[in-house]
Amino acid sequence: MRKLVVLGSGGRLGAALARYCAADAEVIGFDHGALDLASPEALERALEEIDFDALVNCAALTQVDYCEKHAPEAYAVNARAVGVMGRICERRKARCIHISTDYVFDGAKGSPYVEADEACPISVYGESKRRGEIELLDASSAHLAARVSWVFGPDRPSFVDQVIRQARESDQVQAIGDKWSTPTFTGDLARWLHSLLWDHPVGGLIHLAQSGACTWQEYGQYALDCAAEAGIPLRARSVNFQALADLKAFVARRPVYTVLDTGRFARLTGVEPRPWREAVRDYICQHYGAR
């Protein structure tokens, strides 16, 4: 049976991917407790001790404001470690997929970003993730950096869960209404990554996201509509507008528009990602429906 290493298997995407891939591979998962990517020696040791055919890195320092204040740690985990794993995989002739982010873009384009668009990050998080992509592809052009956006799923709460929780507890909910991207379900990402691992082993950059685009306010509003339909008692039924510029608690700058064009993935696999609304609805029905 083929062997797959999943780094970050305790995280939102890593846990979903490890579960999905366990159907037809032996999955060796490392969560943060088992392996600290800030230590290149620990990474080398962990991978040296095992045989594997492929590795997917879902681990990252993902808190944007934390990264802004802890740049050396962000670069160590999000960039240097990715180079180390890329070179180990190259030596071992193992396929390597690294998860990256829409935050490598500055958000100024105003229409969906393709892989060939210039990355121009505006935060330490975005810059550290961009350096990770470069380190990975320098190790081997056969490796793949998959950029994803606004990830949600059952293994760790995200924006959609926060909005539902707030609407249950309070009669006022607000969310940013002037920043656009695309919510993307870990269940769909796991399926797409599986096909890129075993059926379509391409290298370079690829964008993976549901289709369509929205603001956080639209995303939150749709989540509340689905939650109400699923019978979840809510105190707030609408999400009020909040301007990005008014979020004074943000330390790092956020790009305003980071919708990803998924044409390369669709042409390669024949799979058109379904609309974000369908995925959000499914998630809320599955995850909250029976409560």
Binding site for ligand NAP (CB under 6 A): 8, 10-14, 31-32, 35-38, 58-62, 77, 99, 101-102, 129, 148-151, 156
Instruction: Kindly tell me which of 20 and 234 has the beta carbon lying closer to ligand NAP.
Output: 20
Instruction: Kindly tell me which of 157 and 231 has the beta carbon lying closer to ligand NAP.
Output: 157
Q: Which residue has the tokens 């958000």?
A: 107
Instruction: Kindly tell me which of 234 and 283 has the beta carbon lying closer to ligand NAP.
Output: 283
CB of 150 to ligand NAP, least distance (A): 5
Asked whether the beta carbons of 286 and 280 are under 8 A apart, the reply is no
String of DSSP letters for 170-203: -S-EEEESS-EE--EEHHHHHHHHHHHHHT----
CB of 238 to ligand NAP, least distance (A): 23
Nearest Cα neighbor of 126 from 38, 206, 62 is: 62
Instruction: Kindly tell me which of 105 and 234 has the beta carbon lying closer to ligand NAP.
Output: 105
Q: Which residue has the tokens 């306010």?
A: 217
Instruction: Kindly tell me which of 32 and 281 has the beta carbon lying closer to ligand NAP.
Output: 32
CB of 133 to ligand NAP, least distance (A): 11
Tokens of 15: 């846990």
CB of 82 to ligand NAP, least distance (A): 9
- Report how far residue 68's alpha carbon sits from residue 60's, in angstroms, rounded to the nearest whole number: 14
CB of 235 to ligand NAP, least distance (A): 26
Pairing between strand 151-152 and 95-101? unpaired
